[in-house]
Amino acid sequence: MSEALEALIAAVLASGKYAQLAPDFVRAVAIDQLRRHPKHKDALKATKNKLHQVAAAYFDGKFAYGRWLAELAEMPPAERRAACRAIMGQHASTRERLPILDELFALLTAKLPPIRNVLDIACGLNPLCALWLPDLVRYDAYDLYHDLADFLNGFFRLIGVQGTAYAQDVLGNPPTQYADLALLMKALPCLAQFDGAAAERLLDSLNADHLVVTFPAHSLGGRAKGMVENYSARFEALMAVRGWQTERLLFASEVAFIVTRSHGAA
Ligand SMILES: C[S@@+](CC[C@H](N)C(=O)[O-])C[C@H]1O[C@@H](n2cnc3c(N)ncnc32)[C@H](O)[C@@H]1O
């Protein structure tokens, strides 16, 4: 299996669309698919399909990371929020949040104790919302792409926020550092598509006082299909078992849960 596996990983990473992905995650997906599809050609197709489904499908725009960072650096700080909105419009997931961005972060800031340290799990371009958090000191962000992590690290330096963006599989290697708030913005359905049990373990292992967990109100294709009620019922059941308190905020494009964890529950 190991020669076939190495050949499969190399073939995936050689393709432009997947070249920036964290190799450990490509390996995890390739191992899974090679078990199901012993022939190289079939395993390659299946591995790329899975990587598209959980990651690449969201990166459907033009990602001009170098130019974005240069433009943000040149403009007066007061103009950066508007520019960040435009950049968030390039990722399918953050694009849907733009109409509710101001209201969502105003509500979170009002309802939670001062948010100084943030962990952003499966972050996409969401860390640009650092500009909407007035008390922020540190922001650590996790997604699968090296070029995204480089861009976000440049952004954090530019706006004077401590913290690091990582290209890291949060299921295989969950973050361990403490944060006031962990954000899982539309992250769980995507993580669970690869491994539902690991996504649940991740929730338990996060070292944060509060979580904000959101779910999409529509699929990427635009269908609603009772998604809000289904996601809400499943998530509320998960929280009830743990004895964690939740408050639900319902928006047209997204449903958000503010979770307060009981001490010692994790
Ligand atoms: C639905 S998007 C959400 C992005 C962002 N949180 C937001 O709300 O805009 C899901 C993100 O999860 C990332 N992702 C998927 N599996 C991951 C994993 N195992 N580890 C880290 N990131 C992952 C994808 O690359 C994608 O950017």
pLDDT per residue over 12-46, tens digit each? 999 989 999 999 999 999 999 999 999 999 999 99
Query: Using a 6 Å cutoff on CB, does residue 122 contact ligand 1?
Result: yes
Q: What is the pLDDT of residues 40-49, one digit of tens each?
A: 999 999 999 9
Query: Using a 6 Å cutoff on CB, does residue 167 contact ligand 1?
Result: no
Cα–Cα nearest to 43, from 22, 23, 29: 29
Residue 149, both tokens: 């992590």
Residue 200, both tokens: 């649940």
- Flag the least confident range among 61-65, 130-134, 160-164, 238-242: 61-65
User: What is the average pLDDT value for the chain, to the nearest integer?
Assistant: 93
pLDDT at 130 over 50: yes
Q: What number of other Cβ atoms are within 10 A of residue 185's Cβ? A: 23
- Flag the least confident range among 53-67, 111-125, 193-207: 53-67
CATH of 65-260, one of 3.40.640.10, 3.30.565.10, 3.40.50.150, 3.40.1390.10: 3.40.50.150
Q: What number of other Cβ atoms are within 10 A of residue 220's Cβ? A: 13
What is the per-residue pLDDT for 179?
A: 96
66 Cα–ligand 1 center, Å? 21
Query: Using a 6 Å cutoff on CB, does residue 169 contact ligand 1?
Result: yes
What is the per-residue pLDDT for 266?
A: 43
156-to-40, 44, 107, 138, 141 alpha-carbon distances in Å: 41, 36, 23, 9, 10
Cα–Cα nearest to 188, from 107, 266, 261, 256: 256
What is the per-residue pLDDT for 50?
A: 95
Residue 160, both tokens: 């004077």
Cα–Cα nearest to 165, from 178, 153, 182, 147: 153
Query: Using a 6 Å cutoff on CB, does residue 20 contact ligand 1?
Result: no
- Flag the least confident range among 81-90, 219-228, 234-243: 219-228
Whose CA is closest to atom 21 on ligand 1?
143
The pick from 143, 166, 203 for probing ligand 1's pocket by mutation, whose C-beta has the most ligand atoms within 8 angstroms, reads 143
Q: Where are the domains of the chain?
A: 2-54, 65-260
Cα–Cα nearest to 154, from 142, 164, 145, 144: 164
Could you identify the atom of ligand 1 that is nearest to the CA of residue 216?
A: 1
pLDDT at 129 over 90: yes
What is the per-residue pLDDT for 264?
A: 46
Burial category of 39 from C-beta neighbours within 10 Å (exposed 0-12, middle 13-18, buried 19 and up): exposed
Do domains 2-54 and 65-260 share one topology? The answer is: no
Kindly state the percentage of the chain with pLDDT values over 70: 96
> Hey, which residues does 162 pair with through a beta bridge?
138
Query: Using a 6 Å cutoff on CB, does residue 171 contact ligand 1?
Result: yes
> Hey, which residues does 181 pair with through a beta bridge?
118, 210
Q: What is the mean pLDDT of residues 115-131?
A: 97
Of 263 and 216, the one with more pLDDT: 216
Measured CA to CA, the distance from residue 96 to residue 68 in angstroms comes to: 20
Residue 135, both tokens: 């008390």
What CATH number has the domain spanning 2-54? 1.10.8
> Hey, which residues does 138 pair with through a beta bridge?
117, 162
For the entire predicted model, the pTM comes to: 0.95
Cα–Cα nearest to 96, from 194, 248, 227: 227
Q: What is the mean pLDDT of residues 51-59?
A: 90
Q: What is the pLDDT of residues 150-203, one digit of tens each?
A: 999 999 999 999 999 999 999 999 999 999 999 999 999 999 988 999 999 999
CB 201 within 8 A of CB 225: no
Whose CA is closest to atom 1 on ligand 1?
186
pLDDT bin (cut points 50, 70, 90) of residue 92 is confident
Stretch (H or E) spanning 190:
helix 188-205
What is the per-residue pLDDT for 265?
A: 42
Q: What is the mean pLDDT of residues 250-264?
A: 87
Kindly state the percentage of the chain with pLDDT values over 90: 87
What is the per-residue pLDDT for 255?
A: 96
Whose CA is closest to atom 18 on ligand 1?
169
Strand ranges inside 164-265, DSSP E: 165-167, 179-185, 208-216, 245-250, 254-260
